[in-house]
Structure 1
Amino acid sequence: MLTPLLVLNPDELGQDPAVGMDLAAALDIGDLELRTAWDRNLLLADDDQLDSLRGAATARGLRVAALAAPLWKWCLPEAKPGRVDSFGFPTQVARADRKRWVDRALEVAGILGAPRVRVFSHLRVGDLTEAFADDPLLPYALECAQRAGIRLLLENEPVCTMAKPDGLLDVLGRHSALGLWLDLGNLHEVGHATVDTVAQLAPFTEYVHVKDWRAHSEGTLEFCPAGRGEVPYGELLTVLDELRPGLPYGLETHVKGDPADALREGAEFLRTRASSTC
């Protein structure tokens, strides 16, 4: 089995990106997933800040593997979303404003040197929920991304419209220029983290989020280091390793107490697992 390509998001450790970058270097993780820094979503950062961020990464020998953008994690201004973590970006966005955010995300990715940009699939907001696969902005975004040499990747997000296999397979089949940003923890949360499902999704998968959690009886999730929770990574990663070897695995913890230790443990889990299956 190939040694996994690990990716670390510095904002798991706070809003000073240097802290997370230093940890990535210490863990011999050469790739970064960027989302926020200095208390702002990177789509809201100015070009000088983005240049500085990329320079700090380059100085440590790190590359930017992905921009974890909030595109399509939104609804109409008249809709009322529930509790949503959009990482400092508005959840209510008028249709007239959305094109410029797509354009800006691609600009940001270009400045950072990120070859992948995450998208979502509209927030679920009852009768005002919008259809992602038929959104006229999607073909525009995919065409612009192709011209820029950037891949748009759809994350399966429980609060959005595309979280279960049927919907994901439908939209990915209809838009060949769209790839999958597969979050295995999210897949488990919606009850579809099975070997068969991952095998179906594998041909479209280009990036993987790895996070773990334990569910409590009242329905809350307690996040923990990868490999110590309920997500059946042994089975799911084995399928991905067989069908899509060499995928980048983005470590995502959401662990509040000691995220640095959780990231260390998660990296060790993935590497030990890889070496034990060789």
Structure 2
Amino acid sequence: MGKMPASRLVLNPDELNSDPVPGMDLAVKLGIGQLEIRSAEGANAVTLPDDRVRYLRTLAEERGLKVAALASPLWKWCRPEATPERVDTFGFPTQVPPEERLGWIERAIEAAVILGAPVVRVFSHLRVEPELTEQLLGDLLLAKALDLANSAGVRLLLENEPVCTVAHAESLLEVLDRYHGQGLGLWLDVANLHEVGQATGEVVSSLAPYVGYVHVKDYRPAADGGGRVFCPAGEGVVPYGQVLPLLHAAQPGLPYALETHVRDTPADALTSGAAFLRSAVPGGVA
């Protein structure tokens, strides 16, 4: 029987600082060998010129690190005439004219190739006024993007994002069933799934065959009963104890990316999160 591939830890340097160096150095300190790139130098990574993207890769390689994923903002957008909620796109506009979108898709794929990132995150259009909300299913641009990604040797992974149109299991499965054969996979954010009340064993098992990447963050309900407070992974309400063994059983060797969102002490939260994942994922993570 062949040896199962080891699960991998991934760290996003911008969780620590807009300067990527402290986050990369923390990854080395924690024995994490892979990075997720989302923003750097105060700008979204897909907006950086080629030389700055190459510099990010150089910084990583100087430390023995590889880029596991480009966390792009693609499809976390709406038409200019729509009114989006306040959402975090890390320096990328939310209102994007349709005629500009293909250019951004091409740019994200180019950036991924420069970084050596095998996967690129996509979303599913922001939910705005009902008459202006666009749908990912049947979006001709998605089919075009999948072709471009396949030609470039990278894979597009859809994140389940509550502010976007595809966040619940039913719509996720509908989109993934349709486009999986063209290369689309799932960038599973377990906390987002819990936020919509679906981080159950049954749902995770149904989604697991499509998962190519896992975002890990955690939170507790705010003391005043309104909203939530982010905390280190394993210290909140997201049911990782149930979910992680199911994911590992279905897809051994997944990358687990720490996305702490703890603003006051991000390095401590990332350190705690890494220790939690190493103990919680069956077989551990490298």
List gaps (5 residues or longer) in structure 1: none
Residues in 1 aligned to 2:217 and 2:93: alpha-carbon distance in whole angstroms: 25
Q: Is the 8 A contact 2:19 2:41 kept in 1?
A: yes
Q: Counterpart of 2:177?
A: 173
Residue in structure 2 matching 1:246, options 239, 243, 253: 253
Task: Letter of the 2:199 partner, please give it.
Answer: A
Q: Counterpart of 2:227?
A: 220
Counterparts in 2 of 1:151-230, with a 5 A limit? 151-176=155-180, 177-216=183-222, 218-230=225-237
Q: Counterpart of 1:21?
A: 24
1:33 is aligned to 2:40 = no
1:123 is aligned to 2:151 = no
Runs of 4+ displaced beyond 6 Å? 275-278
Q: Is the 8 A contact 1:4 1:270 kept in 2?
A: no
Counterparts in 2 of 1:140-159, with a 5 A limit? 140-159=144-163
Q: Is the 8 A contact 1:35 1:68 kept in 2?
A: yes
Residue in structure 1 matching 2:89, options 73, 83, 86: 86
TM-score norm. by structure 2 comes to 0.95
Structure 1 residue matching 2:163: 3-state secondary structure: coil
Q: CA deviation at 1:207?
A: 0.2
Pairs aligned (count): 278
Residues in 2 aligned to 1:276 and 1:32: alpha-carbon distance in whole angstroms: 21
Structure 1 residue matching 2:220: 3-state secondary structure: strand
The Cα offsets for residues 102-152 of structure 1, whole Å up to 9 and x where unpaired, read as: 000000001111000000000000221001111110000000000111000
Structure 2 residue matching 1:105: 3-state secondary structure: helix
Counterparts in 2 of 1:52-63, with a 5 A limit? 52-63=55-66
Identity of aligned residues (%): 59
Q: Is the 8 A contact 1:180 1:207 kept in 2?
A: yes
List gaps (5 residues or longer) in structure 2: none
Q: CA deviation at 1:219?
A: 3.1
